């Protein structure tokens, strides 16, 4: 009887929509319906919460705009360089601190103390050091992503099996070979998680810097739309930022899962 029931279940196959996906769809649908109801309720000033139709129209107009792609390119360059500089420095610092008990005791507490500090307070200093151009925005993104990457790398170093380290040293591997052949492969998950967190705060830091003092970038488009009280366009730019960040995170997650497998 049990075998017959199992065979019938296998023939039926897996459900088209699992419970997790169904819950996600339900939450998104509820949020969209709630947004539209609030937009049409008149409880807030007109267009503070624009209807989804207006946002969709603004999104379509934004995507075909040449100015949008120019500003997107500026922000992409700033975030990419910020990740390269801040992420690279964070990875190096995390490996150095996590690989030494002395450095762990001396410096790791400072990473935990300074990590949660709002990095926007350093923006005036970044302006004085790097000027009003993209340099100060890159610096803001770099300092924002440094700490998550450094903390994740240090934690990953603490979790590496000592046997792997002794094997590398027994073969007289150089410091660079130890990093490339032993450390990074052994802590790929913490490093990628740190990069994912670093990417998020790098985007936040860069966009905040662009909204404060800039004439280029997606942050500039957001604050410009706000100043014109063009709320549909502002929400459209925010949607683009959210979707791009989600796609990059999904790509990192998929890549990590493939390597882990």
pLDDT of 196 > 70? The answer is yes
d(CA 45, CA 229) in angstroms, rounded, equals 11
pLDDT in tens, 111-159: 888 888 888 888 888 888 988 888 889 999 999 999 999 999 998 888 8
The answer to whether residue 15 is domain-embedded is no
Q: What pLDDT score does 85 carry?
A: 94
What's the pLDDT score for residue 228?
86
Domain that holds residue 115: 58-260
- Tell me the pLDDT tens digit for each residue of 153-179: 998 888 888 888 888 788 787 888 888
Beta-carbon-side half-sphere exposure of residue 131 (alpha carbons within 13 Å): 3
Domain assignment of residue 247, yes or no: yes
Is position 20 within any domain?
Answer: no
In a domain, 32, yes or no: no
Number of domains in the chain: 1
Assigned domain for 21 exists: no
φ/ψ (deg, to 5) at 252: -65, -40
CATH number at residue 97: 1.10.3720.10
Within-domain flag for 183: yes
Classify residue 91: in a domain, yes or no.
yes
């Amino acid at each position: 009887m049990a075998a017959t029931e199992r065979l019938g279940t296998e023939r039926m196959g897996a459900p088209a929509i699992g419970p997790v996906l169904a819950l996600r769809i339900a939450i998104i649908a509820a949020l969209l319906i709630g947004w539209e109801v609030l937009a049409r309720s008149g409880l807030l000033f007109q267009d503070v919460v624009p209807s989804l139709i207006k946002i969709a129209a603004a999104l379509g107009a934004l995507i075909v705009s040449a100015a949008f792609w120019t500003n997107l390119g500026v922000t992409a360059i700033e975030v990419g360089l910020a990740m390269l500089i801040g992420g690279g420095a964070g990875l190096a610092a995390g490996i150095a601190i996590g690989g030494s008990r002395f450095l762990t005791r001396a410096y790791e507490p400072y990473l935990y103390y300074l990590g949660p500090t709002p990095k926007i307070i350093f923006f005036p200093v970044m302006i004085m050091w790097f000027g009003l151009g993209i340099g100060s925005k890159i610096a803001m993104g770099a300092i924002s992503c440094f700490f998550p990457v450094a903390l994740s790398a240090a934690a990953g170093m603490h979790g590496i099996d000592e046997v792997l380290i002794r094997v590398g040293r027994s073969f007289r591997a150089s410091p660079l070979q130890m990093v490339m052949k032993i450390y990074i492969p052994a802590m790929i998950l913490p490093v990628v998680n740190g990069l994912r967190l670093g990417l998020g705060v790098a985007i936040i830091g860069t966009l905040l810097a662009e909204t404060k003092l800039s004439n280029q970038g997606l942050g500039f488009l957001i604050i410009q739309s706000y100043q014109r009280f063009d709320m549909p366009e502002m929400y459209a730019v925010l949607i683009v930022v959210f979707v791009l960040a989600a796609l990059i995170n999904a790509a990192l997650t998929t890549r990590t899962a493939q390597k882990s497998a």
